[in-house]
Structure 1
Amino acid sequence: MTSQAFVDALQQLSSLAEQAQGVAASRVSPVAAGFSGELEASLERINQLQQTASSRANAFQAGSDEVSLSDVMADSQKASVAFQMGVQVRNRLLTAYKDVMGMQV
């Protein structure tokens, strides 16, 4: 996988996370922010989705009238999909790292 493919994957991850949150955040170029910054931001968005899903589930279990079951399930699925995508990105990065380390000079 080339570095451009990683940049494209990170942009896709960012746009999907923004869509899942329903927020139109300002677009920051991964090249300008740096790879580690973009990766950290993606992990923070995944964490935020999981925390939101957890808090909504707790509110629903406590009997809050403000939270419906469909909201809880939708937030739970958003968090699950974001986490699975994060795991796949990590797996691809590890594979790429192993490939580079296995190259002979």
Structure 2
Amino acid sequence: MDTKGIEQMLNVLRTTAAQASGKPATEVQPVSGGPDFAQVLQSSIDKVNQTQQQATQMAEKLAAGDSSQNLHEVMIALQTASVSFQEMVQVRNKLVSAYQDVMNIQV
């Protein structure tokens, strides 16, 4: 897993927190050459969306009587889509919480 985007975001949060508390910010080396945080987040959302669409299509084919669809594979695809969506929601909740923490820092 490429964590350069997450490290970059953490560096920004640490620098902001240090500046808000009046402490000198430690020199943080910028992460270069990696994708930015927004790109990583967008690609993750796209992947979850693709997983959900694929599972929905499989379920629709099974419901329509397509004999090429295996019930077990459809159930696994639906569960995978559900778990990936729940994971995305938890990541969103953590990002919102981190944002609120930064916004509540007294300047």
TM-score, with structure 1 as normaliser? 0.71
Separation in 1, partners of 2:52, 2:104: 36
Matched residue, 1:78: 80
Higher relative contact order (CA 8 A, sep 6+): 2
Q: Cα deviation per residue 1:63-89 (whole Å; 9 max; x = unaligned)?
A: 111111101100000000000000000
Superposed, which structure 2 residues align to 1:1-105 within 5 Å? 7=6, 32-105=34-107
**Corresponding residue for 2:18?**
none
Letter in 2 for 1:101: M
Quick one: distance in 1 between partners of 2:62 and 2:70? 7
Structure 2: where are the runs of 5+ without partners? 8-32
Identity of counterpart residues, as a percentage? 42
Gaps of 5+ in 1: 9-30
Q: Secondary structure at the match of 1:64?
A: coil
CA positional deviation for 1:41? 0.1
Matched AA of 1:7: I
SS of the residue 1:33 aligns to? coil
More helix by share: 1
Number of positions where the alignment pairs a residue of Structure 1 with one of Structure 2 = 79
Greater than 3 Å deviation, 4+ residue runs: none
